[in-house]
Structure 1
Amino acid sequence: MSGAAPTTGRVEVGAAAVARLKPSQRPWGVLRCGGRRRERPGTSKLTSVSTHPSIDRSCGFTEGLCSLPLTEKEGRMATRQRNARGEGSKLREDLLAGAQRILERTGSEDDVSLRAVAREVGVSAPSIYAHFPDGKAIVDALVQQTFEELSALLRQARDESQPPGRLYAVCLAYIRFGLDRPERYLTLFERRRSLERTKQIANAGHGLMYPKGAEAFAILVDAVGESGSESRSRAEEEAALLWASMHGYVTLRFSTPGFQWFADEEHVCEALIRRATSPGRAE
């Protein structure tokens, strides 16, 4: 048997050979049997073997070859190099990036499990525990990170503009974030989740927006207030209406790519502000 397991195709190992190897020497693709005999229908060859140093014969494992198909994604685990000491934060970023890719493919946060992220990134599931306790925590961190990116762009637009045009600058920054980074935007607002999960997030003290999401909305409220809103409550009402309008525009751009919009995003932004606020506030 060669020293390195192939990362694609099939891996074939003998039972006796596996028993003699240390766990660190096992070819990737040899899986835990779980104490039960697992055979393919119509054949005596098993689809997995124990990874314990001494194979548990009570599970029904017999001598012979076990054959395991490896997908390209699963093969990444065999080639991914360890991070250098002190670079644990890089693994965290890799995990978030892996979760992002899963959300882009499936659209559902229920598919972001520790095992799924481990396969995506090419690490063992236990190595994730130092960073996240479960898949939902990974999703929460990813959403927080994305809201932070949005908040940073809105703050920059606010700080680089003067009050007469500040509301327009903030709104245009929001729209362009959605259009320029559609996969990140959809992570915030379009991912599917169970009703129970939605209730858990809503009852977490910060609502469905997450802390950084609430910060982004507060920037919009302040910009609306500075543009001439008569009160804070009125500014919040107008900001919510404006946010709903911008979100509708951005998501329609995703879902109806063939539709010919009457104007570019700059003019759409001005029109949305006029309709969500008092007359003349977009200038």
Structure 2
Amino acid sequence: MTATRTRRTRGTGHELRGLVLERATDLLAELGDVDALTMRAVATASGVTPPSLYRHFSDKETLVQAVIAARFEEFTSVLRTAATNAADQPMARLEATARTYVHWGLRQPGHYRVLFSAANAGPAGLGLSPETEHPGAESYRTVIEAVAACLPVPRHDATLILATELWASLHGIVDLRITKPDMSWPAWDQLVDAALGAVRTAATNSSP
């Protein structure tokens, strides 16, 4: 990424905010650490002056919160849309959610790295209070709900384990391809199908 950009012409506040979030996402994906990100670098990448940037984001913490929130909102929306558009069967909706998770991560590796690999992007790094939910909670809840819908008699503990196990598998499929792209990994759709095996088994074996 080049260090300087042409100063952009003035646009609407909404347009500038969107541009800044995109450029901050790109920088954070490249740096891999919230602590390494600077407001000056984001301003330069966005083609605006630091004072213009501060008019929209009072400090770096506020900016990073907005970046993480925007990217997770995008991710969650994609997952929910995939489930909604799938066949009207719980397992079909879960399969669509799982495949979309991996497909989105592979198509948006920078965004994915920001959400799941950037250092200091947890609750403490984002400056979230203990009672404030992390922006990623909704996407996790989406997978939990999709798994629960597949079980005839869902139990919270069993559902949480199955959903977390599935999430970890999907994350691994994406992360391995992003970090080690030269390896000869099995086809990702086959791995997704295997990752869904535990839920299919639980759905079949569960009884009232």
Equivalent position to 2:31, from 84, 94, 106: 106
**1:52-71 maps to which residues of 2 (within 5 A)?**
none
Which structure has greater strand proportion? Answer: 1
Amino acid at match of 2:191: V
User: Conserved in 2, the CA contact under 8 Å of 1:274 and 1:281?
Assistant: no
1:91 is matched with which residue? 16
TM-score, with length taken from structure 2: 0.85
Q: How does 1:108-127 map to 2 (within 5 A)?
A: 108-127=33-52
Q: Which residue of 2 aligns with 1:203?
A: 130
Distance 2:154 2:10 in 1: 58
After TM superposition, list the pairs within 5 Å mapping 1:38-57 onto structure 2: none
CA separation in 2, counterparts of 1:153 and 1:196? 23
Shift of 1:112: 2.4
1:178-197 to structure 2, matched below 5 A, reads 178-193=105-120, 197=124
Partner in structure 2 of residue 147 of structure 1: 72
CA contact (8 A) 2:148 2:154 kept: yes
Q: Which residue number in structure 2 is paired with residue 76 of structure 1?
A: 6
Q: Percent identity?
A: 29
Distance 1:101 1:200 in 2: 21
Query: Secondary structure, in 3 states, of the residue corresponding to 2:55?
Result: coil
1:162-183 per-residue CA deviation (whole Å, 9 max, x = no partner) reads 2231111111111111111111
> Given that residues 107 and 190 in structure 1 are in contact (C-alpha distance below 8 angstroms), is that contact kept between their aligned partners in structure 2?
yes
Matched to 1:109, the amino acid is V
RCO higher in 1 or 2 (8 Å CA, sep ≥ 6)? 2
The gaps in structure 2 that reach 5 residues or longer are none
What is the CA–CA distance in structure 2 between the aligned matches of 1:74 and 1:199, rounded to whole Å? Answer: 27
The alpha-carbon distance between structure 1 residues 97 and 174, as it changes in their structure 2 partners (threshold 3 A), is: same
Secondary structure at 1:130 match in 2: helix
Which of 1 and 2 has greater Rg?
1
**What is the CA distance between 1:193 and its match in structure 2?**
2.2
C-alpha deviation, 1:197, in angstroms? 4.0
Question: What's the RMSD between the two structures over aligned residues?
Answer: 2.4
TM-score normalised by length of structure 1? 0.64
Cα offset, 1:195, TM superposition: 8.6
Aligned position for 1:279: 201
Q: 1:198 to 1:249 in 2, by over 3 A?
A: same
**Structure-2 change in CA distance of 1:195 and 1:150 (3 Å):** closer
The residue number in structure 1 matching 2:173 is 249
User: What CA distance in whole angstroms lies between the structure 1 residues aligned with 2:165 and 2:123?
Assistant: 27
